[in-house]
Chain A
Amino acid sequence: MTATPSLPAPGPWRRAVVAEVRHPHPRTAALRLELPGRVPHLPGQHYVVRLTAEDGYAAARSYSLASAPSDPLLELFVEELDDGEVSPYLTEAVELGDELEIRGPIGGWFVWDGQSPAVAVGGGTGVVPLVAMLRHARHLGTLDRLRLAVSARTLAELPYADELAAGGAVVALSRQASASGRSAGRLIAAELAPLVVPDATYFVCGSAAFATGASDLLLELGVDPTAVRVERFGASG
């Protein structure tokens, strides 16, 4: 784990205004937030959202950004978790014009500068930071330096499926045959093999089980474990 240059500490809690709300799939929300004078972020970083009840009871959770640094708005993608506390509010109750208390950007390890060769592998909502990477690369004109592989159970459960496919991502659906003829099944090493390039940094994002599986595939392909950066989504709701 080599040192990365220090990034600025996240600022204090700030109020963002909800400028757009979309529900791309049932039980999900893409929230686009306006935060004037925000600290610039890099793809891979996240924000914390804090909800506070009238009596001061508060709950906070972290969400990765899907938006590129060049986007005038911040985009968070939220999936409602069973037994979640914050996610159901964000996916069901939040409306246009609401204020949300947020803090960030946070994280200095799982970040891509948009320039160095990168291979990113995401599962489920773990694709969200990959979307930020893709949008950043498109903005900078460095799409040739980013290779993506994404996985979900079905296409309907893959956030940003069209955008990722258009960006050249390898798409692996574990429970559904794809239109291109791929039969249902988990991501395999043969699908990642063409993505492996010398000197790349590898970004793996998803559930603990997905992250372990994807990391193992990369190691099977001879990738140096120190070149792999992992972001695991814990069970927090």
Chain B
Amino acid sequence: MASRGFLGRRRPAREDLPPAQYDVGADWPVLTAEVTPRIDPERWTMSVDGLVEEPRTWTWAGLHEQPESEYQGPIHCVTTWSKLDTRFAGVSVDLLLDAARPRPEATHVLATSTTGYTTNLPLEQVRGGQAWVVWSFDGQPLSRDHGGPARLLVPALYFWKSAKWVTRLTLLDHDERGFWERNGYHDLGDPWREQRYHGD
């Protein structure tokens, strides 16, 4: 349906902008549903548990001893903004999973934050260099508002999947809805297929 007289404000087409997303430029909107926590990195831990051979927990220092891994590219928020050319650094989720050794029956991951926020992901979406636990953005420590000291980063999916203040990945043999997914948002959240809400 055309809106009478609407032209829109076109930007140069970019191949990395999914349908109905717009380039937010230098901004980085903060959208969270809970009070921004103050987390002491010295007391923060990152765990991988559930259907794994060896549940593992890393301290802040322990995680920083792992080989650093970087992501450069776009991120896409379900509220229709995309931020292009971002640069995050942290560790690859592959490294954490390899250490914990998922059991063959594991098919999904539930990410949990220190605030109790959760989000669900198919295991295959966080494998093969597609997911990170990151602590820096553009070479600077990740700010509290953006999930610091550390957040999950799964840039191929809408950004609510990239849980801020992440502290745990739990491997499951089924899909278990997280916070927004229980509130009407899509279980997978692929921006290229515009999977914003249930049924999309």
Q: Are A1 and B33 touching (Cβ within 8 A)? A: yes
From residue B168, how far is it (CB to closest CB) to chain A in Å? 14
Within 8 A of B (CB), among A219-235: 219, 225-226, 228-232, 234-235
**What total of chain B residues lie within 8 Å of the partner, measured CB to CB?**
39
Tell me the minimal C-beta distance from A8 to chain B in angstroms: 8
A58 close to B (CB within 8 Å):
yes
User: Within the assembled complex, what's the spacing in Å between the Cα atoms of A8 and B20?
Assistant: 23
Check A15 for interface membership: any CB of B closer than 8 A.
yes
CA distance A2 to B31 in the complex (A): 18
- Bound complex: CA A89 to CA B7 (Å): 9
In A97-117, which residues have CB < 8 Å from any B CB? 98-101, 106-110
Say yes or no: is A189 at the interface (Cβ < 8 Å to chain B): no
Partner of B27, one of A53, A99, A235: A235
Whether A162 sits at the interface, judged by CB under 8 Å, is no
B22 close to A85 (CB less than 8 A): yes
How many A residues are at the interface, by size bracket? 35 or more
CB < 8 Å: which of B34, B81, B117 contacts A228? B34
Label chain B's interface by main secondary structure.
loop
Are A234 and B29 within 8 A (Cβ)? yes
B10, B22, B35, B180 interface centre (most CB from chain A within 10 Å): B35
**Distance between A146 CB and nearest chain B CB, rounded to angstroms:** 20
Partner of A108, one of B2, B8, B81, B183: B183
User: Are the CB atoms of A234 and B179 closer together than 8 Å?
Assistant: no
* Interface: B86 (CB within 8 A): no
Whether B79 contacts A234 by the Cβ 8 Å rule is yes
Bound form: Cα–Cα A212–B3 in Å: 37
Residue A215, interface by CB 8 Å: yes
Closest to A108 in B: B183
User: Complex Cα distance A234/B179, Å?
Assistant: 20
Per DSSP, are chain A's interface residues mostly helix, strand or loop, or mixed?
mixed
Partner of A51, one of B8, B31, B32: B8
Given A109-B179, A234-B81, A57 contacting B10 (CB threshold 8 A):
yes
A109→B3 contact, CB < 8 A? no
Please tell me if A177 contacts chain B, counting CB pairs below 8 Å. Answer: no
Report the bound CA distance from A228 to B79 in whole Å: 22
- Min CB distance B2 to A, Å, is 5
B182 at the interface (CB under 8 A from A): yes
* Contact (Cβ within 8 A) A53 B30: no
Q: Is A10 in contact with B182, judged by CB distance below 8 angstroms?
A: no
Our pick among A4, A9, A108, A208 for the contact of B29 (Cβ within 8 Å) is A208
Chain A proximity of B44: nearest CB distance (Å):
17
Cα–Cα, bound, A95→B183 (Å): 33
Contact A85 B9 (CB under 8 A): yes
Expressed in whole angstroms, the minimum distance between the Cβ of A81 and any Cβ of chain B is 12
Chain A residues whose C-beta falls within 8 Å of the C-beta of B179 in the assembled complex:
1, 109
Q: What would be 8 A-B contacts, judged by CB atoms less than 8 Å apart?
A: A1-B34, A59-B20, A62-B79, A107-B184, A108-B182, A212-B36, A228-B35, A230-B33
> Which 3 A-B residue pairings sit nearest by Cβ, starting from the closest?
A234-B29, A108-B183, A9-B198
Interface residues of A (CB under 8 A from B): 1-4, 6-10, 15, 50-54, 57-62, 85, 89, 93, 98-101, 106-110, 208, 212, 215, 219, 225-226, 228-232, 234-236
